[in-house]
Amino acid sequence: MAQQRLGRIQWGDLLFGPGSRYHVTAVDGLDDLPDIRSEDVARPGQHGDYTGPDFTGPRVVQLKLGLRGDSPDELRDLTLALRNATQPQEQPAPLQLLDQGVVVWGKVRKRSLPYDAEYLWSIGDAALELYCADPYLYGLEEKMASTTAYSPAAGRTYPLVYGLAPQTLNSNPTFETTITPWIAQDGAVLARVNTQAQTGSWSAQITPPGGTPGPRMESEQMPVTAGVSYRAKGYMRCVSARDLALNVNWFAAGGGYMNTSVNQIAVAANTWTPFSAAFVAPAGAALGQLAPTIPGTPPATAVTFVDEARFERDIASGFRSYGDAGTSGRLTAVNGGASPAYPVLRVDGPVADPSIEQVNTGSILTLDATLQGGEYVLIDTRTRAVLFMGSTPRREWVRGGSVWPLLLPGSNELAYRGSALPGAPGQPSLLTVTWRDTSL
């Protein structure tokens, strides 16, 4: 339900507003319309202009805070914590309005922490100014929808298992009653907590030891079939902005470790982020294991939470859920904002010449590319980056005449098509769309 009061505001590890020692006394620029950058042209020899489209400039958000300590020393601690959290930045960071469900990305460009001896005992003031090069107001929740490709020329491989949704192979994905059989590895401390949860009331917490590479938690080992596609999915959250990974470990029949399929994503601080990636079990694999991981050598402060961690036989690898006729290869994405949203598109192979159509507008984006099983490409429609395996630029794959799809306010229908590869079982290619409600 929409509310007028701002409630809690999060910047990095600092919380402003109710329940904190930083009281929010004023906010400017959040609901204001940024300055308009018009494309009007004067009418020669006539009154008035020829008017063109209006675009906005950057957004500037100003916060005024009241610092409330119990002593001069505590007030000084609050001042230093705020100063340390508002250093010059290389990249924008999220300013999250937790109770309003809104986030903006900005850089601190001005900071005022005045010294007033008359009120120094326990009360102080502060003012921050954030420059938001991206002026959009985004929904705090990142939404996600996916569909398999529609490829009539390839037909379907029978028999299929009808009426079944993807089946979760690992036990206890939600941690609502216990943490077992999950275990911690490489010095991590694993706990079940009710301070954070994506669904239900509980989640798993991974606390790294500090100085140890790749601390993680692991599920039980589950039987898999070589050459079949499996999906690792779930939600992860870290107290700081960093890379997280929801990986899959593969083992031979005797239990010997073979290799790891990596699904790594950069996440914002204190934001539940969805993970979903399909991997084909390698030749010789007989067991699979889900492994939420903190990549690199994280400090002990990089506490990470995991929820809804699932390992599934991919729906396109034999388990297929049939709904109404004509829904194959289509998904619905609802933008609850008032401005067009720029989705991020992920295409998982195997597929040739994948195309995504925005049915509402008729725009079609096609890639002249072939993705094998286990390969994927990320497409950011805002920056127009096309990244093979999430890192290698492949902008040249975009077919000439393609139109980048946007999600208009309200309900949007996307159609996903592609050609099956020779020898690929069924239609395992998947389109995953992520977006946020978007307004100005």
**What was the pLDDT predicted at 328?**
59
- What's the token pair of residue 400? 């000439």
Q: What does the alpha-carbon distance between residue 398 and residue 307 come to, in Å, rounded to a whole number?
A: 36
**What was the pLDDT predicted at 118?**
64
Q: What is the pLDDT of residues 246-300, one digit of tens each?
A: 999 999 988 899 999 999 988 899 999 999 888 888 888 999 999 999 999 999 9
Contact 431, 353 (CB under 8 A): no
Q: What is the pLDDT of residues 180-207, one digit of tens each?
A: 999 999 999 999 999 988 888 899 999 9
Q: Is the pLDDT of residue 79 over 70?
A: yes
Domains by residue range for the chain, with CATH: 9-139 (2.40.30.200), 143-153+325-439 (2.60.120.860), 167-313 (2.60.120.260)
Q: What does the alpha-carbon distance between residue 12 and residue 172 come to, in Å, rounded to a whole number?
A: 31
Q: Is the pLDDT of residue 327 over 90?
A: no
Q: Is the pLDDT of residue 158 over 50?
A: no
User: Of 227, 267, 226, 233, whose CA–CA distance to 248 is shortest?
Assistant: 233
Which residues have a Cβ under 8 Å from the Cβ of 127 and sit 6 or more positions away?
62, 63, 64, 65, 110, 111, 112
Residue 119 is given by DSSP the state G
**What was the pLDDT predicted at 325?**
33
CA-based torsion, 186, 191, 192, 194: positive or negative? negative
**What was the pLDDT predicted at 377?**
93
Q: Is the pLDDT of residue 380 over 90?
A: yes
Nearest-5° Cα angle at 330, 400 to 433: 70
